[in-house]
Chain A
């Protein structure tokens, strides 16, 4: 069986003036379906960079990322864009919804971009919004929703195109503790219900209990907790 995600000997350096500095060195790991893992590490340690490469937003210098067995490094820019649309569900730090669309349309848009037909779009969007507890607010605009509610819409949006992989970069950074627990347990609930692989970057240790495995960023590489 092909794995939803395999990371193989991934390296990334950035140019800093005259010299290159290594941000990621020789990172390898893989995820199974239905697995929810966390990446923790100090600020500036390269967590977002790693997530960007896995999410086909950034290219690596060495090594490769395989999504359902397909190598990302072989794809053109358009190919990566298509891959993000169909196989990746992103959950950003602050929900990053479009201000001019209500909750239903936020979800509808991504499925429309993926050319899903109208009745199917409607069915999925309604189901997902009620899954995240917003069944009664589907016509609410971002400015009419609280921070937690916006993040719920973003979670629902991430699942809209039935992706292989969910990538969340500090999804609770702008929420209070109670809301943070709700959001992370919601992500877990959806990941398990839909049997997806998911990576969450966080620096809140109290969120780690929701995750199946925990990786720590140390000396530019990932070390798994036992």
Chain B
């Protein structure tokens, strides 16, 4: 079966090469779009997906959007100290000037944290916030593609403050901007914000008594799951939906294109199948050989497109939101593989129906 499949394909190189190439193109497109989808998604919500928080307290009228939610928490902290297991989450947009490039401001999300709590993710490079005081910041490593290095200073025109980058963290982006961690002491001491405020409150394990106490103290708010907060991040759902829609249609298109190609090739070979059946080949052998060809084609093309997509991570400019996620890539590759087989299976019916008697002349 295998040898016959290969010999046939080698003989009709152009025909099979063309199908392989089309499958490669469509599969690459699917994989790249899925890479963009997960890259964009990460840029928008990575801080939340990576967060240890399980539930968020947000204003009831905020539609679960952190940026539409806000509380004054001065009194709350006195009444229910954070030691009981909650933390205030502040997402404060800042536009930094780096190295005096006034025209190219870097948009970031500043998050003040108590570095001893789970709200703070730690560093992968440089110094930790825990040991620092003053206007030191730990920033997401995507800022490296903007040219930010350790010990660089970032200036905020609005508050006239200059921050020093002491460390890098990873997977901390929010609303397409890198997250910048600063200590609460620095944030409030420098009076960036005159009052203790929070966009939302978080807990790191569900605790009904604590959560009820907080809801009772601060009316106007409610507890929601992390997933609901993520879904409500502006742009996230619509972005993902349109990209997933694209992937879905690409896969449907490839199903039809492949099925049509395999069908045409099968039709062209019906006479050969008749002859082979006449001299004693079984349906299982003929269908098996045809499916084998599809498997060979699909494995070849899909491997190439996985490699190609992987090489994209090097070719695409660094700031481009592109995420080569092996699991997603594997899922989509398997899906494309199944779709190819399904397309071929459709024409297998024609092979089974061929009457071997047509090989004998004179019965037109």
A98-B272, A109-B4 known; A48 and B281 CB under 8 Å? Answer: no
**A21 at the binding interface (Cβ < 8 Å):** no
Instruction: For the complex formed, measure the closest distance between the CB of B278 and the CB atoms of chain A, giving whole angstroms.
Output: 6
Q: Which residues of A contact B194 (CB under 8 A)?
A: none
Assess whether B279 is in contact with A90, with CB atoms less than 8 Å apart: yes
Assess whether B282 is in contact with A81, with CB atoms less than 8 Å apart: yes
Q: Which residues of A contact B285 (CB under 8 A)?
A: 113
Give chain A interface residues in 142-170, CB to chain B under 8 Å.
157, 161, 169-170
The docked-state distance in angstroms from the alpha carbon of A128 to that of B11 is 25
Q: Which residues of B contact A157 (CB under 8 A)?
A: 279
B contact set with A: CB distance below 8 Å: 4, 7-8, 10-12, 271-272, 275-282, 285, 356-357, 359-363
Contact of A105 among B7, B281, B362, B363 (CB under 8 A): B7
The docked-state distance in angstroms from the alpha carbon of A110 to that of B272 is 14
Contact of A43 among B4, B11, B281, B362 (CB under 8 A): B362
Assess whether A86 is in contact with B7, with CB atoms less than 8 Å apart: no
Assess whether A92 is in contact with B11, with CB atoms less than 8 Å apart: no
The docked-state distance in angstroms from the alpha carbon of A93 to that of B271 is 14
Assess whether A81 is in contact with B360, with CB atoms less than 8 Å apart: no
**A96 at the binding interface (Cβ < 8 Å):** yes
Assess whether A170 is in contact with B277, with CB atoms less than 8 Å apart: no
Contact of A86 among B11, B12, B280, B361 (CB under 8 A): B280
Assess whether A173 is in contact with B361, with CB atoms less than 8 Å apart: yes
**CB-nearest residue of chain A to B1:** A112
Assess whether B12 is in contact with A170, with CB atoms less than 8 Å apart: no
**A85 at the binding interface (Cβ < 8 Å):** yes
Q: Which residues of A contact B359 (CB under 8 A)?
A: 57, 90, 92, 96
Q: Which residues of A contact B280 (CB under 8 A)?
A: 81-82, 84-86, 88, 110, 113-114, 161
The docked-state distance in angstroms from the alpha carbon of A113 to that of B359 is 18
Assess whether B361 is in contact with A49, with CB atoms less than 8 Å apart: no
Q: Which residues of A contact B363 (CB under 8 A)?
A: 48-49, 52
Instruction: For the complex formed, measure the closest distance between the CB of A63 and the CB atoms of chain B, giving whole angstroms.
Output: 18
The docked-state distance in angstroms from the alpha carbon of A90 to that of B361 is 12
Question: How many A-B contacts at CB < 8 Å in the complex?
Answer: 79
The docked-state distance in angstroms from the alpha carbon of A170 to that of B271 is 18
Q: Which residues of B contact A169 (CB under 8 A)?
A: 360-362
**A3 at the binding interface (Cβ < 8 Å):** no
**A51 at the binding interface (Cβ < 8 Å):** yes
A84-B279, A86-B280, A109-B4 known; A93 and B11 CB under 8 Å? Answer: no
Assess whether A47 is in contact with B362, with CB atoms less than 8 Å apart: yes
Contact of A48 among B8, B275, B362 (CB under 8 A): B362
**A55 at the binding interface (Cβ < 8 Å):** yes
Assess whether A52 is in contact with B357, with CB atoms less than 8 Å apart: yes
Assess whether B12 is in contact with A48, with CB atoms less than 8 Å apart: no
Q: Which residues of A contact B276 (CB under 8 A)?
A: 98
Q: Mark A167-204, 1 if CB is under 8 A from B, else 0.
A: 00110010000000000000000000000000000000
**A101 at the binding interface (Cβ < 8 Å):** yes
Q: Which residues of B contact A51 (CB under 8 A)?
A: 360
Q: Which residues of B contact A55 (CB under 8 A)?
A: 278, 360
Interface-central residue, B276, B281, B362, by most chain A CB under 10 Å: B362
The docked-state distance in angstroms from the alpha carbon of A44 to that of B277 is 24
Q: Which residues of B contact A98 (CB under 8 A)?
A: 8, 272, 275-276
Contact of B361 among A44, A92, A109 (CB under 8 A): A92
**A100 at the binding interface (Cβ < 8 Å):** yes
The docked-state distance in angstroms from the alpha carbon of A51 to that of B361 is 10
**CB-nearest residue of chain B to A109:** B4
Instruction: For the complex formed, measure the closest distance between the CB of A15 and the CB atoms of chain B, giving whole angstroms.
Output: 14
Assess whether A99 is in contact with B277, with CB atoms less than 8 Å apart: no
Q: Which residues of A contact B4 (CB under 8 A)?
A: 109
The docked-state distance in angstroms from the alpha carbon of A110 to that of B276 is 9
* Nearest 4 Cβ contacts at the A-B interface: A85-B280, A100-B11, A48-B362, A93-B361
Q: Which residues of A contact B357 (CB under 8 A)?
A: 52, 57-58
Assess whether A85 is in contact with B279, with CB atoms less than 8 Å apart: yes
Q: Which residues of A contact B361 (CB under 8 A)?
A: 48, 92-93, 169-170, 173
Q: What would be 21 A-B contacts, judged by CB atoms less than 8 Å apart?
A: A43-B362, A48-B363, A52-B357, A57-B278, A57-B359, A78-B282, A81-B277, A81-B356, A82-B280, A85-B281, A90-B359, A92-B360, A92-B361, A96-B275, A96-B359, A98-B272, A99-B11, A99-B272, A100-B10, A113-B279, A113-B285
